[in-house]
């Protein structure tokens, strides 16, 4: 479709939309209900600028250069705008983008050291406005009114000066990211082209641009900064002139300037093609009208009736956010950059190629929503994922600008594809999709080898072990379901069916939580409120209900419906206080439920599985009213590329996809009197569905679709068939959803699954220790065990013994255990216990961080050394402080050497100590120096490494005191520069001879 034909069709559509909206709602175009400032305050991390639906360009102001709350480039609390860059991320928790910053200037702050401060301008929210497809702000210092709009691949600027003045346009190529390579040059006096390759979250991001202006410019080329490099012999400051990647175009005296800036991720030629194809309007107003009409069409997927102005604004702003990612990544020519970073060509029938797949977030609600109302685009998303698999070797996890970022966990392309399949989306290679799924699940990284061998991930094998085990199990369930439908390989289907039950291997029936295991034993001193590296951005509460494919199996593990309901209620009514590390993502707390982050999102919809639908109605209503508001702080956490808003959209419609990939959704209570859902037309797409709410209460009396009664769930098939879904609501709880045979069911077939046993044993002991073994499932299975010497690497045929009762060990040993069920056995798990031969005790004057406690108070002398990963639990961590500890050897001892192990892992702020000193004493009162080591940090290598400091000497004493000096503040050049550093220690060993 040519741009002109598309514009004409949009005009016709908009006239029709006004007619429809005028009949069932207010006669205001839908784009006007969108408030792009929602989420720009607090921790929402959204951007307020102009973009087209799923557009390549996100043209938006940049008011913040650094910091977590600057991830979107803008924060509502700021008062300075640096300029307007053409790419932004929608609500992520990591910073990137901000490419090709334009800053129109009439004056400069020459006293500022950095160019970013020289061209910046103050602004006021009183002179700022935005809606879908449009942004405007007045720059106070520059006396310029800036307006922005966009097509899919072109950002459009209009700068209007208060009065004619000399206008200089600054183009900052280094804005925000580390610059790897760039070019910029004029083609004539009104066209500017260039490229930027940058390194940030995406380690090699390519952006190319072509900017056309309606006024000629004089090119000033590269600008300079004066840099202080030293002090001369007479005390004078020595300075050098540095060229910086900041450029200027002088437009002379004028009162208005318009610019059309096309992007490409492929080449300058691609940007020029995009400019020629999409920059075809005669005026800024024409671009603005086209963008607004595009948004009117997009937002009309759901047209609502009723609700307050605030509720309507919140709803359409949420729906808007759902349509801002993923983003188109191919040029109009069909060229795109693959995940191999090479250039590829789409066929005419391939649709678009996309980027920005925040799948750990969006598999939960955003993609199920798009699978329903945007099936053609979802088909193209899946085709994109499969191309990424073919070209880059794996499905995306968190893909950004053709880069695998290595961020987040799971293989959540899998549930997106599986869920699309259950919505009837066709047009992608099912066999290739299954191959890609299996490759992701069988990869030899991120704890998967342990997961497939043992049936769970021990914390000493991989960090975030509980979250990964639970999420891998869900993804495996999606693979099994997809394979059962599209493959004849029964063995493959069964393999993943059994893997989907691995979550049970981390369930502790005594506590009722999914807990971390060290080897085969439960981690000591478990606290479900503690935020630590056993969970992903969460604690034990916030992952305790992530079994979406086997909710009923989880109910059984907890002892039945009443216990399950009680556990849910405990979570929502508990204190909101968490312990452990500070995790900025854990926000929007209701008890221990954290709506500000994704793992909690489905939990309010679990009550119907145990007949308590009224509690879903109450909790969801509370979340909608208190955690979503039409203001800058209107989101309780990161938007996360539409997931936070997708929860609201589903909940406003009165349903939620608790189990992506399932054939059903769980009902809630709709917000509006009426909502008409019209999926994007394509083959197999759903028919229009009208959702009607009769009554103003939040409790459901009954629900019907096409006059057929529903219980607490509705199938996708019924939604796709269209028609009318009617909720009859009232002000008091009813018996809706209480009859047990009408409860929703998500039960995973567990025939043949044998859970692994749990070994109850310490890691170390001094004389003897008692060992017991159990199976923490709802069934008691026979268990066998075997014992091996710690250094016995030759034994391949253990002597298996039937476990009857606890037994005692008095020497170091490896304990093997397995569960027996009929003719099947579980995976063999093992746990090592070590007898500590020395009688020493340790007293620490400096408290260690609770989240990095290792083995507790005696961890530094327990004989167990930490490896190269700080997250696996063997390192003891100390933040900011110097460390002092005293070892009591119990007897006068001749000491010849002391060794202290420390970890270096500079990305998470862990540095080697600056100094270690040792003192010795016979009586614990009078001390003499044993020796010290001074260490000068040259730590530029990002790879973690263990380092052992050794101090030799010759003294006799009973007490040793060690003092470890923290390295101090993080150095310049580090992402956390200026913050205190960590020291991680383990082990302190002493070379002695008893006197």
Give the mean model confidence (pLDDT) for residues 1-30.
48
Phi and psi angles of residue 461, each rounded to the nearest 5 degrees, phi first: -100, -30
- d(CA 83, CA 66) in angstroms, rounded, equals 15
- d(CA 59, CA 155) in angstroms, rounded, equals 6
- d(CA 440, CA 419) in angstroms, rounded, equals 17
Confidence of residue 21 (pLDDT cuts 50, 70, 90): very low
What pLDDT does 795 receive?
A: 65
What pLDDT does 22 receive?
A: 39
**The pLDDT of residue 939 is above 70:** no
Give the mean model confidence (pLDDT) for residues 927-951.
85
Confidence of residue 402 (pLDDT cuts 50, 70, 90): very high
Confidence of residue 11 (pLDDT cuts 50, 70, 90): very low
Tens-place pLDDT, residues 172-209: 999 999 999 999 999 999 999 999 999 999 999 999 99
- d(CA 251, CA 190) in angstroms, rounded, equals 10
Give the mean model confidence (pLDDT) for residues 310-318.
99
What pLDDT does 5 receive?
A: 35
**The pLDDT of residue 23 is above 70:** no
Mean pLDDT of the chain: 94
Confidence of residue 13 (pLDDT cuts 50, 70, 90): very low
Pairing of strands 218-231, 237-264: antiparallel
pTM: 0.93
Q: Hey, what CATH topology would domain 36-299 get? A: Beta-galactosidase; Chain A, domain 5 (2.70.98)
- d(CA 490, CA 656) in angstroms, rounded, equals 31
Confidence of residue 236 (pLDDT cuts 50, 70, 90): confident
Helix (H, G, I), strand (E, B) or coil at 232: coil
What pLDDT does 734 receive?
A: 96
Q: Hey, what CATH topology would domain 841-994 get? A: Jelly Rolls (2.60.120)
What pLDDT does 12 receive?
A: 42
Residues 134/38, Cβ–Cβ less than 8 Å? no
Confidence of residue 24 (pLDDT cuts 50, 70, 90): very low
**The pLDDT of residue 291 is above 60:** yes
What pLDDT does 233 receive?
A: 82
Report the range of poorest mean pLDDT among 49-53, 102-106, 436-440, 775-779.
775-779
**The pLDDT of residue 729 is above 70:** yes
Give percent of the chain above pLDDT 90. Answer: 86
Q: Which CATH class is domain 758-835?
A: mainly beta
Q: Which of 565, 532, 647 is nearest to 601 (CA)?
A: 647
- d(CA 463, CA 480) in angstroms, rounded, equals 26
- d(CA 314, CA 33) in angstroms, rounded, equals 8
What pLDDT does 241 receive?
A: 82
Query: Which residue, chain included where needed, has tokens 């709410």?
Result: 693
Give the mean model confidence (pLDDT) for residues 904-925.
94
Give the H/E segment covering residue 876: strand 876-879
Give the mean model confidence (pLDDT) for residues 593-613.
98
Residues 258/157, Cβ–Cβ less than 8 Å? yes
963 CA to centre of own chain: 39
**The pLDDT of residue 100 is above 50:** yes
Give the mean model confidence (pLDDT) for residues 513-528.
95
- d(CA 332, CA 629) in angstroms, rounded, equals 38
**The pLDDT of residue 6 is above 50:** no
174 is written with which tokens? 């280094």
822 burial type by CB count under 10 A (0-12 exposed, 13-18 middle, 19+ buried): exposed
Question: What order do you get walking across the sheet with 769-774 strand by strand?
Answer: 758-760, 769-774, 807-809
What pLDDT does 937 receive?
A: 73
Give the mean model confidence (pLDDT) for residues 506-528.
95
Give the mean model confidence (pLDDT) for residues 286-292.
99
First-last CA distance in the chain: 92
Contacts of 767 (CB under 8 A, 6+ apart): 810, 835
- d(CA 394, CA 465) in angstroms, rounded, equals 22
Query: Which residue, chain included where needed, has tokens 């580390």?
Result: 178
Q: Which of 445, 508, 442 is nearest to 756 (CA)?
A: 508
Report the range of poorest mean pLDDT among 135-139, 150-154, 477-481, 576-580.
576-580
Residues 580/532, Cβ–Cβ less than 8 Å? yes
Q: Is the CATH number of domain 304-742 3.30.2080.10?
A: yes
Residues 594/542, Cβ–Cβ less than 8 Å? yes
Residues 642/90, Cβ–Cβ less than 8 Å? yes
**The pLDDT of residue 962 is above 90:** yes
Pairing of strands 723-730, 689-694: parallel
- d(CA 37, CA 28) in angstroms, rounded, equals 19
Q: Which of 814, 763, 808, 816 is nearest to 790 (CA)?
A: 814
The three state secondary structure string of 521-537 is EECCCCCCCEECCCCCC
Give percent of the chain above pLDDT 70. Answer: 96
- d(CA 455, CA 121) in angstroms, rounded, equals 57
- d(CA 592, CA 42) in angstroms, rounded, equals 20
Residues 410/396, Cβ–Cβ less than 8 Å? no
Tens-place pLDDT, residues 624-659: 999 999 999 999 999 999 999 999 999 999 999 999
- d(CA 913, CA 986) in angstroms, rounded, equals 13
Give the mean model confidence (pLDDT) for residues 749-761.
96
Query: Which residue, chain included where needed, has tokens 């593990």?
Result: 557
Query: Which residue, chain included where needed, has tokens 């009586």?
Result: 923
Residues in the chain: 995
**The pLDDT of residue 593 is above 50:** yes
What pLDDT does 227 receive?
A: 77
What pLDDT does 940 receive?
A: 61
Query: Does 156 or 821 have the greater pLDDT score?
Result: 156
- d(CA 97, CA 88) in angstroms, rounded, equals 5
What pLDDT does 25 receive?
A: 44
What pLDDT does 238 receive?
A: 84
């Amino acid at each position: 479709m040519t741009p002109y034909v598309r514009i004409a069709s949009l005009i016709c559509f908009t006239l029709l939309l006004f007619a429809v909206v005028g009949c069932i709602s207010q006669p205001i175009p839908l784009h006007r209900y969108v408030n792009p400032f929602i989420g720009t305050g607090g921790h929402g991390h959204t951007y307020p600028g102009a973009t087209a639906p799923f557009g390549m360009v996100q043209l938006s102001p940049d008011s913040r250069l650094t910091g977590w709350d600057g991830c979107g480039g803008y924060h509502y609390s700021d008062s300075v705008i640096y300029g307007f860059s053409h790419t932004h991320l929608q609500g992520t928790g990591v910073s990137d983008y901000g490419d090709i910053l334009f800053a129109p200037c009439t004056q400069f702050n020459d006293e500022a050291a950095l160019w970013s401060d020289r061209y910046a301008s103050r602004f006021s929210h009183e002179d700022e406005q935005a809606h879908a497809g449009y942004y405007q702000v007045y720059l106070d210092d520059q006396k310029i009114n800036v307006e922005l709009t966009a097509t899919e691949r072109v950002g459009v600027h209009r700068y209007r000066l208060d009065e004619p003045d000399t206008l200089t346009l600054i183009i900052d190529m280094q804005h925000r990211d580390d610059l790897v390579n760039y070019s910029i040059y004029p083609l004539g006096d009104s066209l500017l082209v260039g490229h930027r390759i940058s390194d940030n979250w995406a380690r090699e991001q390519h952006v190319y641009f072509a900017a056309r202006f309606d006024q000629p410019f004089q090119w000033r080329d590269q600008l300079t900064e004066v840099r202080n490099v030293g002090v001369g012999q007479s005390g004078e400051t020595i300075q050098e002139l540095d060229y910086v990647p900041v450029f200027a175009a002088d437009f002379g005296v004028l009162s208005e300037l318009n610019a059309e800036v096309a992007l490409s991720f492929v080449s300058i030629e691609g940007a020029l093609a995009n400019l020629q194809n999409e920059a075809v309007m005669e005026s800024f107003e024409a671009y603005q009208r086209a963008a607004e009409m595009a948004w009117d069409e997009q937002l009309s997927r759901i047209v609502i009736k009723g609700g307050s102005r605030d509720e309507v604004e919140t709803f359409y702003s949420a729906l808007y956010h759902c349509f801002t990612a993923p983003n188109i990544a191919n040029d109009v020519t069909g060229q795109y950059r693959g995940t191999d970073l090479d250039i590829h060509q789409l066929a005419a029938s391939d649709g678009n190629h996309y980027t920005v797949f925040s799948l750990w977030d969006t598999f939960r609600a955003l993609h199920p929503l798009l699978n329903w109302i945007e099936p053609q685009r979802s088909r193209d998303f899946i085709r994109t994922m499969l191309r990424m698999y073919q070209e880059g070797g794996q499905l995306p996890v968190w893909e950004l600008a053709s880069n695998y970022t290595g961020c987040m966990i799971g293989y959540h392309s899998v549930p997106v594809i599986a869920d699309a399949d259950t919505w009837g989306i066709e047009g992608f290679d099912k066999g290739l999709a299954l191959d890609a799924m299996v490759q992701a699940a069988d990869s030899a990284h991120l704890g998967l080898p342990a997961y497939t061998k043992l049936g769970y991930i021990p914390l000493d094998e991989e960090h975030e072990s509980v979250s990964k085990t639970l999420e891998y199990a869900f993804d495996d369930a999606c693979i099994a379901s997809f394979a059962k439908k599209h493959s004849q390989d029964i063995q493959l289907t069964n393999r993943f069916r059994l893997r989907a039950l691995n979550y049970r291997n981390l369930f502790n029936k005594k506590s009722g939580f999914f807990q971390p295991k060290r080897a085969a034993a439960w981690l000591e001193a478990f606290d479900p409120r503690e935020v630590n590296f056993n969970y992903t951005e969460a604690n034990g509460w916030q992952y305790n209900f992530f079994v979406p494919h086997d909710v009923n199996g989880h109910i059984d593990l907890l002892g039945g419906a009443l216990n399950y309901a009680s556990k849910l209620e405990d979570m929502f009514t508990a204190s909101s206080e968490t312990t452990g590390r500070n995790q900025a993502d854990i926000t929007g707390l209701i008890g221990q439920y954290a709506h500000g982050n994704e793992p909690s999102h489905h939990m309010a919809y679990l009550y119907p599985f145990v007949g308590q639908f009224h509690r879903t109605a109450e909790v969801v209503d509370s979340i909608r009213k208190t955690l979503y508001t039409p203001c800058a702080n209107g989101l309780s956490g990161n938007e996360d590329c539409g997931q936070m808003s997708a929860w609201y959209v589903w909940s406003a419609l009165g349903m939620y996809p608790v189990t992506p990939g399932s054939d059903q959704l769980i009902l809630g209570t709709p917000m509006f009197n009426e909502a008409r859902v019209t999926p994007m037309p394509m083959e197999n797409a759903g028919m229009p569905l009208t959702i009607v709410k009769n009554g103003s209460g939040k409790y459901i009396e009954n629900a019907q679709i096409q006059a057929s009664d529903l219980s607490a769930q509705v199938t996708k098939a019924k939604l796709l068939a269209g028609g009318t879904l009617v909720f009859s609501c009232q002000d008091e709880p009813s018996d809706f959803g209480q009859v047990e045979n009408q409860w929703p069911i998500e039960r995973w077939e567990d025939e043949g699954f044998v859970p692994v046993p749990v070994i109850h044993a310490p890691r170390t002991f001094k004389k003897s220790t008692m060992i017991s073994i159990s199976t923490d499932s709802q069934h008691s299975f026979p268990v066998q065990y075997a014992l091996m010497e710690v250094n016995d690497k030759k034994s391949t045929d253990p002597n298996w013994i039937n476990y009857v009762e606890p037994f005692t060990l008095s020497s170091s040993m490896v304990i093997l255990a397995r569960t027996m069920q009929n003719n099947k056995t579980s995976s063999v798990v093992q746990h090592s216990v070590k007898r500590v031969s020395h009688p020493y005790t340790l007293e620490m004057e400096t408290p260690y961080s609770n989240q990095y406690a290792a083995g507790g108070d005696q961890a530094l002398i327990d004989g167990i050394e930490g490896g190269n990963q700080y997250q696996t639990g063997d390192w003891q961590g100390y933040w900011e402080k110097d460390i002092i500890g005293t070892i009591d050897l119990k007897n006068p001892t001749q000491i010849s050497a002391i060794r202290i192990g420390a970890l270096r892992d500079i990305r998470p702020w862990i540095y080697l100590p600056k100094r270690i000193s040792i003192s010795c004493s016979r009586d614990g009162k009078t001390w003499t120096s044993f020796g010290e080591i001074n260490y000068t940090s040259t730590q530029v290598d990002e790879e973690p490494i263990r380092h052992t400091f050794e101090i030799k000497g010759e003294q006799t004493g009973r007490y040793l005191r060690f003092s470890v000096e923290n390295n101090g503040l993080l150095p310049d050049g580090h992402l956390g520069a200026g913050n205190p550093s960590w020291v991680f220690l383990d082990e302190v060993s002493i070379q002695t001879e008893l006197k």
